Amino acid sequence: MRLTKKEEEMGEGKMGPSVQLAMKAIIQMAEGLGVECLIPTEGSHLGNVDMLFHCKGYVGIVRKFVDLGGEVRIPTSVNPYPADPRNPESPAIPEVYRGENPLVDDYRRLGVIPNWTCTPFLYGNIPRFGQHLSWEESSAVIYVNSVIGARANREPILMDLVSAIAGRTLYTGLHLDENRKGEILFLVKLKKIQPDDFAAIGYYLGKVCGTRIPVIDGIQGQASTAALKNMGAAAASTGAVAMFHVPGLTPEAPTIEKAFGGRKPAETIEMDDRVLARTKEEMSSLKSPGPLDIVALGCPHYTLEEVVSVARLLEGKRVNPGVELWICTHNGVIDLAKQLGVARVIQGAGGRLFSGCILCLHNVEPYSGRRLMSDSGKICYYRPAIYGSQQGCVEAAIQGRI
């Protein structure tokens, strides 16, 4: 493979032993995949730390970089804890996640931004158009590629870390212009789009696109930041979609024609009200009516607007004592929610506003067998759940059943 002079020197250890070790891993990966050269990166996001601290191999590698005096060379953030142990609002932390997590301190020593969120593009690690990144977390990767126009592949765990230390990743996939063009025309033909429909639109989108890049037409007027975040997370779960275009809205798609880069769409797919209803039905894999145990909101982490919206729905109400209402977000949003008084409303109604990862929590005991409802396409794909709009979820939490 081709290396620049500087990269050769990095590999020879001229920039220190930690960079040398990181480069060794990156070059081996490139050679194994037949990638010809590397690209300098300007940001990294590390994947989940839920069970990783049980993985002696990974913990040992991180410690090795610390012992070598390593530090991240580019802004590097990290995904959430299962539940932030510092927040009294957090639900009981499952046994499997308790105990000392050496990664917390080792990441700090490497200089990782301790923002503990799956929406780093909104809080703490905000890329700009055209930057090459080495990010993990599929819901974040699809957002930065599509909405911001930064360039990132869905990096595997460890590749995110070595890229952060070396400031290089493989020059392949979505780093290349020719791989960022639209492939499928996806026409949304709903009579009226509600904000909550975006999770279902993304759920269907991922199923029909697989790994292909859709050009989505028909959502332009309604696509808020939260809507695009929720749609992308669902599409990156039901498929391996890592990028989409919305003509007139996303930066690499001023028009439909430009989004396709002069090529014809390989396929045109329509989503009408009938398909939307069928998709919502499919998202609810728990069909039987009955009591609920958990209502989980904030996967990916809720924006401040989404938190405020939940608080409005809870004003003067009380969550059923048999139900846990979880609202996951970034700690910075929690601070703002406190200042706005909306955290008090949520807490007063019996909800829990915390920074955590819903999927990590409810996949293990004591939460794994519980009857759960969510507005998240990602959760409804990965776990038996009842799908509902945010309003439907809050109302069910108050009723205690569906």
**Positions that interact with ligand F3S (CB under 6 A):** 79-80, 118, 139, 233, 299-301, 328, 357-360, 378
Between 73 and 378, CB nearer to ligand F3S: 378
Provide, for the chain, the percentages of residues in helix, strand and coil under a 3-state DSSP scheme, each rounded to the nearest 5: 40, 15, 45
**At its nearest, how many Å lie between ligand F3S and the CB of residue 95?**
19
Six-digit token string for 149: 């126009």
Residue placing its CB nearer to ligand F3S in the complex, 46 or 246: 46
Q: Are 351 and 321 in contact (CB under 8 A)?
A: no
**Closer to ligand F3S at the Cβ: 143 or 204?**
143
**Concatenated DSSP letters of 214-283:** EEEES-TTT--HHHHHHHHHHHHHHS-----B-TTTSTT-SSHHHHTTTPPPSEEEEEEHHHHHHHHHHH
Type of residue numbered 147: V
Distance (Å, rounded) from C-alpha 190 to C-alpha 194? 10
What letter would DSSP give residue 401?
B
Going across the sheet that includes 267-272, the strands are 214-217, 184-189, 267-272
Closest CB 378 distance from ligand F3S, rounded Å:
6
CB of 309 to ligand F3S, least distance (A): 18
Please state the separation of Cα 196 from the chain's center in Å: 17
CB of 198 to ligand F3S, least distance (A): 14
Q: Which is nearer to ligand F3S, 182 or 377 (CB)?
A: 377
Least separation in angstroms between CB 169 and ligand F3S = 21
Give the nearer residue to ligand F3S in terms of CB position, either 371 or 378. Answer: 378
Q: Which residues are bridge partners to 245 per DSSP?
A: 215
User: What is the number of residues in the chain?
Assistant: 402
**Whole-angstrom distance, CA of residue 238 vs CA of residue 200:** 11
- Smaller CB distance to ligand F3S: residue 7 or 196? 196
Q: In degrees rounded to 5, what are phi and psi of residue 116?
A: 45, 60
H-run or E-run covering 45: strand 44-46
CB of 360 to ligand F3S, least distance (A): 6
For ligand F3S, which is the closer residue by CB, 144 or 166?
144
Dihedral sign for Cα atoms in the order 279, 119, 51, 87: negative
- Which residue number, 35 or 360, has a Cβ lying nearer to ligand F3S? 360
CB of residue 114 vs ligand F3S: minimum separation in angstroms? 15
Minimum CB–partner distance for residue 328 and ligand F3S (Å): 5
